[in-house]
A and B are shown apart, each in its own frame.
Chain A
Amino acid sequence: MEETLTQTAAAERPATIPGLGRPLKEHEMVISMGPQHPSTHGVLRLELVVDGEVVIDVIPHIGYLHRCFEKHAENMTNYQQVIPYCDRMDYVAAMNNDLGYAIACEKLLKIKVPERVEYIRVIMAELQRIASHLIAVGTYGMDIGAFTPFLYCFRDRERILDIFEQTCGARLLYNYIWIGGLSHDVPENFAEKVRDFCAYFRPNINELNDLLSYNKIFIKRTANVGVLPPEVAINCGASGPVLRGSGVKWDLRKNDPYSVYDRFEWEIPVGTGTMGAVGDCWDRYMVRVHEMEQSVNIIEQAVEKIPPGDVQSAIPKRIRPETSEVYVRTETPKGELGYYIIADGSASPFRVKVRPPCFVNLSLLPTISRGAMIADVVAVLGSIDIVLGEVDR
């Protein structure tokens, strides 16, 4: 009976668990929240070293979704051809990935895009931010056990995906934002559809708050869980809602502006420790809910001011930048996405390094979940909001 459960006799156990740095003690158990698991948001293996229900250490193993983005980018014959690969990194927020790469290449090529393109890009990026946060919030509720908000969030996300489909024909992976412009111009009734969506969506945020955010059980599960102090967050490179949830008022759209974000009036929501300590899961979750609201503000302002123009006028025919390199970072729903592009004078990039926000945010997981219970690891992982496509590229 002993062998069936422990599977390896003591003599066969490895001396040191890699990642843990020491052999297992007698009362500890290694349990694998394996690659297939309903709440690891993709193929992520979390090796939990537990003592009963209490987690001693979490050792993440990634790389299950590694699709060699950087190697592909080096082998493309054209800078524009990399864009569909960029989509597929953070596949729930594809517009923001494309935007980062396009801005980086435009800086490299010293191209200035028309105003119309900038405004449409901002609207698309903000709509995508709302869509991504809806998934984050919905799946987080589902991880905690509340199944219904997930469906409501997806219902709202369908409206956004309808707008995207009417513009570029795709619902999830768009290949829309090109270097120097856009692949298609927006349809005729675009402004009206976007305004309708904003009017429809605002009350739904209140519904979500009633159902999930201020629910006593949800607060009990997420407040004071996975507290991330701000200095640790900055030193570990956290960004996006993870950083803002710890009270650090830092948003690249305001602190390091790109595109035309500096022309709009909106707030940066930060975590204030309303329900527990500053920087707990509830704060990070609430930052996302508030950010959705702020995105609606930005969209409403932007859609009034879209200037006329040609969205494809600045798209270069031949892309052959001179030998130079550039690092550009943008604020995606998950955090700070950086592209480090080295050009060597030929038509294909020499090196494209992506600094994914989820990769860095995930490295925080062991730090903030030691000493928590297994259920809390799920809560913390959901609040960090990772998409494995971006972690592994």
Chain B
Amino acid sequence: MIPQEIHDALVSHFGNAILDAKLEGVFDPFIKVAPDRIKDVAQFLRDNEATAFNVLMCLSGVDHTGGKLGVVYHLHSMRRNHKIVLKVDLTVEQPHCHSVESVWKTANWHEREAYDMYGIIFDGHPDLRRILMPYDWEGHPLRKDFQVPEYYNGMKVPY
């Protein structure tokens, strides 16, 4: 299916959960989804025969500066051989997004990393802990406004 068809299928199913789309003039066409409906959209995309997105290639957190965060999902279908990108826009004050871990198990560790690095909280994730940073670290390192703390557990951090 071409991206336009995927977009149409999603709009017809989910209506106003699909916020925006940019399907031309980009390397990877993307569709913006509302944060609380992302799991239903993902479930539909995986289970629907025509789309059949059975692989979540990558789940990334992004900091768009100015207090805006985002999550980017790169999906791929092995059977239909097509790709699509889903995007979710969040803010620092409202960093909640529904987890897609129940749809693709890949997302388990990816979402933990997005939480660790950006502070995006995935509702419904079975075990949302930090993954790369130590468990008692404070702050979310990949945010653009992250300041390296002076001390961590009594050790001086910058040198």
Chain A contact residues, CB within 8 Å of chain B: 18-19, 21, 62-63, 66, 68, 70-71, 107-108, 232, 234-237, 250, 255, 324-327, 329, 336, 338, 340, 342, 351, 353, 355, 359-360, 363, 367, 392-393
Contact B60 A235 (CB under 8 A): no
| Chain B 48-72 near chain A by CB (<8 Å), digits 1 or 0 | 0000001111101011000000001
With contact pairs A63-B132, A327-B74, A351-B60 given, residues A360 and B55 touching in the complex (Cβ less than 8 Å):
no
| B114–chain A nearest beta-carbon distance, Å | 10
Q: Which residues of B contact A234 (CB under 8 A)?
A: 54-55, 78
Q: Is there a chain A Cβ closer than 8 Å to B105's Cβ?
A: yes
Contact B141 A68 (CB under 8 A): yes
A-B contact pairs, 30 of them (CB 8 A): A21-B126, A62-B131, A63-B130, A63-B132, A63-B133, A63-B134, A70-B117, A70-B142, A71-B141, A234-B55, A235-B106, A236-B105, A236-B106, A237-B106, A255-B81, A325-B26, A325-B27, A326-B28, A327-B27, A327-B74, A327-B85, A340-B72, A340-B74, A351-B63, A353-B60, A359-B109, A360-B106, A363-B105, A363-B108, A393-B132
**CA–CA, A63 and B117, complex, Å:** 12
Contact A66 B133 (CB under 8 A): yes
Within 8 A of A (CB), among B18-53: 26-28
Contact A326 B57 (CB under 8 A): no
Pick from A18, A340, A363, A393: contact of B60, CB under 8 Å: A340
Q: Which residues of B contact A71 (CB under 8 A)?
A: 141-142
Q: Which residues of A contact B72 (CB under 8 A)?
A: 340
With contact pairs A63-B133, A338-B74 given, residues A107 and B56 touching in the complex (Cβ less than 8 Å):
no
Closest to A107 in B: B27
Closest to B116 in A: A63
- The DSSP consensus for interface residues of chain B is loop
Given A235-B106, A326-B27, 15 more A-B residue pairs with CB atoms under 8 Å apart are: A18-B135, A19-B129, A21-B127, A63-B130, A63-B131, A232-B105, A237-B56, A237-B57, A237-B105, A325-B28, A327-B57, A327-B74, A351-B63, A353-B60, A363-B105
Contact B134 A237 (CB under 8 A): no
| B134–chain A nearest beta-carbon distance, Å | 7
Contact B57 A18 (CB under 8 A): no
Contact B28 A327 (CB under 8 A): yes
Q: Which residues of B contact A63 (CB under 8 A)?
A: 130-134
Within 8 A of A (CB), among B117-151: 117, 126-127, 129-135, 141-142
Contact count band on B = 20 to 34
Q: Which residues of A contact B110 (CB under 8 A)?
A: 360
Contact B109 A392 (CB under 8 A): no
Contact A360 B132 (CB under 8 A): no
Q: Which residues of A contact B26 (CB under 8 A)?
A: 324-325
| A229–chain B nearest beta-carbon distance, Å | 12
| B132–chain A nearest beta-carbon distance, Å | 4
Pick from A18, A255, A340: contact of B129, CB under 8 Å: A18
Contact A363 B109 (CB under 8 A): yes
**CA–CA, A235 and B100, complex, Å:** 12
A-B complex: 3 closest residue pairs judged by Cβ atoms: A237-B106, A355-B58, A353-B60
Q: Which residues of A contact B104 (CB under 8 A)?
A: 235-237
Closest to B141 in A: A71
Q: Which residues of B contact A62 (CB under 8 A)?
A: 131-132
Q: Which residues of A contact B60 (CB under 8 A)?
A: 340, 351, 353, 355
| B36–chain A nearest beta-carbon distance, Å | 23
| Chain B 61-101 near chain A by CB (<8 Å), digits 1 or 0 | 01100000000101000100100010000000000000000
| B138–chain A nearest beta-carbon distance, Å | 15
Closest to A234 in B: B54
**CA–CA, A326 and B72, complex, Å:** 12
| A21–chain B nearest beta-carbon distance, Å | 7
Closest to B133 in A: A63
Contact A66 B132 (CB under 8 A): yes
Q: Which residues of B contact A342 (CB under 8 A)?
A: 62
**CA–CA, A392 and B109, complex, Å:** 12
With contact pairs A107-B27, A363-B108 given, residues A392 and B132 touching in the complex (Cβ less than 8 Å):
yes
